[in-house]
Structure 1
């Protein structure tokens, strides 16, 4: 099942409600702080619109922010969040962007590159639709070791699954963060002047059970467990909650790490 297909039905809203404030909002604020929003901006993989909302607040008069995502169900959540005359929502594939050459001043892509089937193709498309003097900002998660809170849900799920049904879906979002590899991929796609910066934020969960509802019912883990015939996730969620509290306390407090990438076209 594709990543897009796994974010359907109630999954996008659960993702946004239970995981969004903890994992995504701190970096949405950080990204908007870093980006001097220009007149024509393209956001790729806008998802439920957390970054979009903060970028829209900085959009200059007469400016346009195209918030695109492969998944319309995710964008439906964003549409409910944002009402701004300059924001346009588009269903679009990062590998084949439906925009003109040199149409945008800036591109922002938060937490998506790790899911691209062909990163060189996607990065080439980013560059094609960007003006020659434009800038692209992209973020990817650090590793699972850097974001140690990630492991509890997958470990707990696998505890209850037979050996031939074990899952590794939560590894993927944390698997593309090697600076040398990312720079190589971007330069192969024609980018130049690539810069990196690691940014640490506090990972703080006041209600571990609510956060885990997001992980088990609002992430690719949801579809992976459904594919394996799991009907009751309660024992998995309870075990994951115990693990989080044992490792990081209650409330859960630890660090999370994201890599910021800035590149010139």
Structure 2
């Protein structure tokens, strides 16, 4: 992972929320929120909340006495999350680094992180921080994407970009979002941070987009992959996006499209 992989700024948050969230993140947010609600927590910390898709899903399921502290490294993402959520006195929004959490020891019943641990430069340090702020009976829940080959849209995107830039393909997707999927390595990292156990489950869902262009725009412009594309083709981001859209149309058809997605959910106990 590079330092730029963590930066979601400029027009990225709006595209991410409008196109990426319903396409791939919403199905897993609902699944994760259901797991968390079943634990009936009073105090929840969310790390890497992004534009708030999991925050919203948890808020819709947790009772009036629950408290959610939603954090993210990128303030522009949180600003959009706050605007989308509206007033909810149960939620506190805070800019924070998941590797240096500004909270006291043993504060939370649940720590949750949806598709964020892949962005930690030092994952064991991040897990150690999650364990530190968990109560002794708490749970740490996070999820990660499976290998890029098992996620249909992004695999087509990656293949197309490799064909377009054969000498220096943009590798953000393979390197970071889909770069941390070895369950034995994940379990070892979690245990290395001091957790007593880590249970893993495979969760398959279907990714849906209103059009191939929507999917291409999400992948090419709604995350740091956009920076990699613009570095290789200055001023050509929209042209590259439309070429990727055409590849998606050939693969998945005209109009609304859908494809398989796969992730792993990890539940860790202190």
TM-score, with length taken from structure 1:
0.94
Secondary structure, in 3 states, of the residue corresponding to 2:234?
coil
Aligned partner of 2:206 in structure 1 is 202
Pick one of 79, 87, 92 that aligns with 2:96: 92
The reply to whether residue 70 of structure 1 matches residue 110 of structure 2 is: no
Aligned length: 263
Gaps of 5+ in 2: none
Secondary structure, in 3 states, of the residue corresponding to 1:62?
coil
Rounded Cα–Cα distance in structure 1 between residues aligned with 2:19 and 2:148: 20
Secondary structure, in 3 states, of the residue corresponding to 2:78?
helix
The reply to whether residue 264 of structure 1 matches residue 265 of structure 2 is: no
Aligned partner of 2:45 in structure 1 is 42
Rounded Cα–Cα distance in structure 2 between residues aligned with 1:97 and 1:158: 38
Rounded Cα–Cα distance in structure 2 between residues aligned with 1:75 and 1:90: 8
Contact 1:59–1:65, Cα closer than 8 Å, also in 2: no
Structure 1, residues 216-257: CA drift from partner, whole Å, max 9, x if none? 221111111233352122332222122222222333222111
Aligned partner of 1:183 in structure 2 is 187
Secondary structure, in 3 states, of the residue corresponding to 1:173?
coil
Structure 1, residues 70-126: CA drift from partner, whole Å, max 9, x if none? 000110110011121010001111111100000111011010111110011110000
Q: Which runs of 4+ in 1 moved over 6 A?
A: none
Question: Cα gap change, 1:193/1:44 in structure 2, threshold over 3 Å: closer, same or farther?
Answer: same
Q: Over aligned residue pairs, what C-alpha RMSD do you find?
A: 1.6
Question: Cα gap change, 1:262/1:204 in structure 2, threshold over 3 Å: closer, same or farther?
Answer: same
Rounded Cα–Cα distance in structure 2 between residues aligned with 1:114 and 1:2: 13
Aligned partner of 1:166 in structure 2 is 169
Aligned partner of 1:249 in structure 2 is 253
Rounded Cα–Cα distance in structure 2 between residues aligned with 1:173 and 1:192: 26
Aligned partner of 1:4 in structure 2 is 6
The reply to whether residue 239 of structure 1 matches residue 254 of structure 2 is: no
Aligned partner of 2:31 in structure 1 is 30
- After superposition, where does 1:124-143 map in structure 2 within 5 Å? 124-143=128-147
The reply to whether residue 59 of structure 1 matches residue 71 of structure 2 is: no
Question: Cα gap change, 1:237/1:93 in structure 2, threshold over 3 Å: closer, same or farther?
Answer: same
Rounded Cα–Cα distance in structure 2 between residues aligned with 1:230 and 1:29: 38
Instruction: Give the Å deviation of 1:212.
Output: 1.5
Rounded Cα–Cα distance in structure 1 between residues aligned with 2:245 and 2:232: 22
Gaps of 5+ in 1: none
Rounded Cα–Cα distance in structure 2 between residues aligned with 1:227 and 1:243: 21
